[in-house]
C-alpha cells in the first residue's frame, strides 16, 4: 500500500512539474532582458514575448494601441547582479 501511495505521489509531482514548464514560453519565443514583457498574439496559438519594459506602466501603451496582447512579468528576468544558482 505504501508503494502505491509513493508512486502516485511521484507521478502527481512529475505531472505538475511538466504542466508548469509547458506554460512558460521558450527562450526562442522571448527577446529582451527587462522585467516586463508585452505578450502578443500572432495567430494560430503563437505568442511572442517582447521583454523590453522596466515597468507595467511602460508596457500598457503598446497593449492599448490594439495589439490584442497583455503585459506579463518576464519569466526569465533576474535581479541585476544576482548570481545564478
Per-residue pLDDT of the chain (85 residues; tens, 9 = 90+): 777 765 666 555 555 544 544 455 554 466 788 999 998 877 787 888 889 999 999 998 887 666 678 999 998 887 777 666 6
Distance CA 85, CA 56 (A): 27
User: Which pLDDT value is given to residue 21?
Assistant: 45
User: Which pLDDT value is given to residue 85?
Assistant: 61
Domain ranges of the chain: 2-73
User: Which pLDDT value is given to residue 79?
Assistant: 76
Phi-psi map region of 8: left, alpha, beta (phi>0 left; psi -120 to 50 alpha): alpha
Specify whether the CB–CB gap between 71 and 63 falls below 8 A. yes
Q: What is the CA radius of gyration of the chain?
A: 18
Amino acid at each position: 500500500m505504501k508503494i502505491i501511495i509513493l508512486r502516485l505521489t511521484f507521478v502527481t509531482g512529475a505531472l505538475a512539474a511538466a504542466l508548469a514548464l509547458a506554460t512558460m514560453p521558450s527562450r526562442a519565443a522571448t527577446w529582451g532582458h527587462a522585467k516586463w514583457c508585452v505578450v502578443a498574439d500572432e495567430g494560430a496559438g503563437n505568442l511572442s514575448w517582447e521583454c523590453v519594459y522596466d515597468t507595467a506602466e511602460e508596457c500598457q501603451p503598446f497593449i492599448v494601441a490594439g495589439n490584442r496582447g497583455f503585459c506579463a512579468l518576464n519569466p526569465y528576468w533576474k535581479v541585476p547582479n544576482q548570481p545564478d544558482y
